[in-house]
Amino acid sequence: MLECKFCFYFQTMKESVYLMDTVIYHVDVNSAFLSWESCYRLCQDPQALDLRTIPAIVGGNQETRHGIVLAKSTPAKKFGIQTGEPIVDAKRKCPNLTVVLPSYSCYVDYSRQLIDLLKTYAPSVEQYSIDEAFCDMTGTRKLYGDPVIFAETLKNMIRDRLGFTVNIGISSNKLLAKMASDFRKPDLVHTLFPEEVPTKMWPLFIDELFFVGQSTAKKLHELGISTIGDLAHMDLDVLTHLFKKHGEMIWNYANGKDMEIVTDHHHTANKSYGNSLTLHADVTDAETARLFLLSLSETVGARIRADKSYVGVVGVSIVDQNFVRQSKQQTLFSDTNVTEEIYQTACTLFSEIWTGVPIRQLGVFTGKASRDASYQFNLFDQDKYEKLSKLNTAVDSIRSKFGEDAIKRASFVNNDTADHMTGGLNRSRRNHKSDI
């Protein structure tokens, strides 16, 4: 009898541990902007042509130099059309391509509907972007049963209730869940648990690993590393010598290791803030480029302060007229939320990486955001920082009450070259009540 009780207790403990195994969903909308555009048009007119069934893209306005592919349909993908490429190139590949301008306020509303639905079923939801979210489903097996089977149910529920499809990746951490959701599309559920990494992830090309950009991929290829498995088996000391902290991070990713947990961003700071701008005409002089960097820094700084956050890293990105991208970032002496400090760092980095080739796009980005940061003063900047911090806060307050144009820097007065706050969402979208 004692042995039976012990066996029952042991089995119960095993089931409890099993029930509490970490389960993460990554929910990714398939061709989000194009899917949402189709849903909106069909809601307005049920007889309208479904853009998802023909070669179609959502793209920016070519006349204002924002003419790139933002989203593409599956039929368009068959012509080799890539997200981010110029619309003119996409039309060469598919002369009968249908091009529609984006309806951002509509996309924001669909995004919110998705998040609201996910929050109905997931204990914790972290919105990663307008069309992606992580759901921590740990401990929900008693509610919904097998997490893979329920993911199918949830996927179908999104399709039937909201009218668009998603991919759902499932794993025990965020990295692998995101990698899984990028497997074959659309409207599918994929798993990538740690034990599946050797067979499902290691054979993939190194370029497909999260956070391995073109520059890093090129260097890895030069080292003879062509697959994620090659990277996973590389000597970590060699990687950290060549790529510093980034090398350690991508090595961990290649081995399926990710310690980040799903959090509700209503209670924690964003990890990064950034804005970029495709210019109306190629910029060929540093003075004009710095004006745009100031404008971008204004919107980035305002967003950081609105979240009551501070950032520890500032970076700059440049895309030249040949679509070659360069970027560089710098860790700050102390965390900040002051626009002037972000801008000064951005200008320094810009001077270090710009080769003089005409610029098509500029970006300012930040990282290592926190709400718990404290400023470390040096002997010379204490008064300056305090004054700038108070001034920035006062400017934010005025703009919030009277509008963005109520106050602007002198360099933007009567200046037709650059708007004083630009990048990311345009003015109308930033002021839209449902913007995320």
Which residue in 37, 85, 126, 132 is the catalytic one?
132
Q: What is the DSSP string of 29-90?
A: ETTHHHHHHHHHHHHH-TTS--GGGSSEEEE--GGGT--BEEEE-HHHHTTT--TTSBHHHH
Helix (H, G, I), strand (E, B) or coil at 366: strand
Rounded CA separation 150/140 (Å):
10
What is the spatial distance between Cα 318 and Cα 367, in angstroms, rounded to a whole number?
Answer: 17
Task: Tell me if 262 sits within 8 A of 174, measured CB to CB.
Answer: yes
Tokens at 358, concatenated: 């005409």
Please tell me the distance from the alpha carbon of residue 128 to that of residue 135, in angstroms, as a whole number: 10
Which residue in this structure is represented by tokens 């529609």?
100
SS3 of 417, please?
coil
- Whether the upstream peptide bond of residue 186 has omega within 30° of 0, thus cis, is yes
Element (H, E) at 281: strand 274-283
Gyration radius from the chain CA atoms = 24
Task: Give, in degrees to the nearest 5, the angle at Cα 84 between 179 and 276.
Answer: 95
Q: Quick check: is 196 catalytic? A: no
Largest CA-CA distance found in the chain, in angstroms, rounded: 90
CB-based contact 209:254 (threshold 8 Å) = yes
- Sign, CA dihedral 180-184-190-192, equals negative
Q: 115, 125 in Cβ contact below 8 A?
A: yes
Measure the CA–CA gap between 148 and 168, rounded to whole angstroms: 9
Q: Are 126 and 267 in contact (CB under 8 A)?
A: no
Residues with catalytic function? 132
